Amino acid sequence: MLRLSKTLTRALCGSAAIGLAVPLVSLLAVSASFAQNVQDGRAVFPERRIRAYSYMGADQDVIRMTLSRITRQEGNAPGGWVYEWSAIGKYYEALGDAATNRRAALDAYMTAGVYYAIAWFPRNDSDEQDQAYQAQLNVYQKGGKQFDVPLEVVNVPFRDGHLVTYLHKPVGVEKPPLVIYSGGVDQYKANHYRPIQDYLANGLAVATFDLPGFGEAKQWPRESTAEPHVAILEHFLKRRDLDTAHIGVFGQSYGGGAALRVALLNDPRITAVVAMCAGIRSFKENGTIGQGKKPITTPLLVLNGTRDGGNPPEDILLTWQSAVESDVWLLGLGEHCAVEYYPTVMPDVAEWLVEKMKARK
Segment 98-127 mean pLDDT:
95
Q: What is the DSSP letter of 203?
A: T
Segment 9-30 mean pLDDT:
32
Segment 198-227 mean pLDDT:
95
Segment 48-70 mean pLDDT:
94
The amino acid that residue 168 corresponds to is H
Each residue of 290-346: pLDDT tens digit? Answer: 888 899 999 999 999 999 999 999 999 999 999 999 999 999 999 999 999 999 999
Please state the φ and ψ torsions of residue 297, each to the nearest 5 degrees.
-105, -15
Distance of alpha carbon 227 from the chain centroid: 19
At residue 224 the predicted structure's pLDDT band, cuts being 50, 70 and 90, is: confident
Tell me what percent of the residues of the chain surpass a pLDDT of 70: 91
Q: What is the CATH number of domain 1-30+150-361?
A: 3.40.50.1820
Q: Which has more confidence, 170 or 223?
A: 170
pLDDT beyond 50 at 15 = no
Residues of the chain with CATH 3.40.50.1820: 1-30+150-361
Residues of the chain with CATH 1.20.1440.110: 34-146
End-to-end Cα spacing for the chain: 31
Whether the Cβ atoms of residue 235 and residue 156 lie closer than 8 Å to each other = yes
DSSP per residue, 90-142 = HHHHHHHHH-SSHHHHHHHHHHHHHHHHHHHTT---SHHHHHHHHHHHHHHHH
pTM: predicted TM-score of the whole model, two decimal places = 0.90
Top-tier CATH class for 34-146: mainly alpha
Question: Cα dihedral angle (47, 312, 331, 2), rounded to 10 degrees?
Answer: 160
At residue 75 the predicted structure's pLDDT band, cuts being 50, 70 and 90, is: confident
pLDDT beyond 90 at 219 = yes
Segment 104-113 mean pLDDT:
98
pLDDT at 5: 63
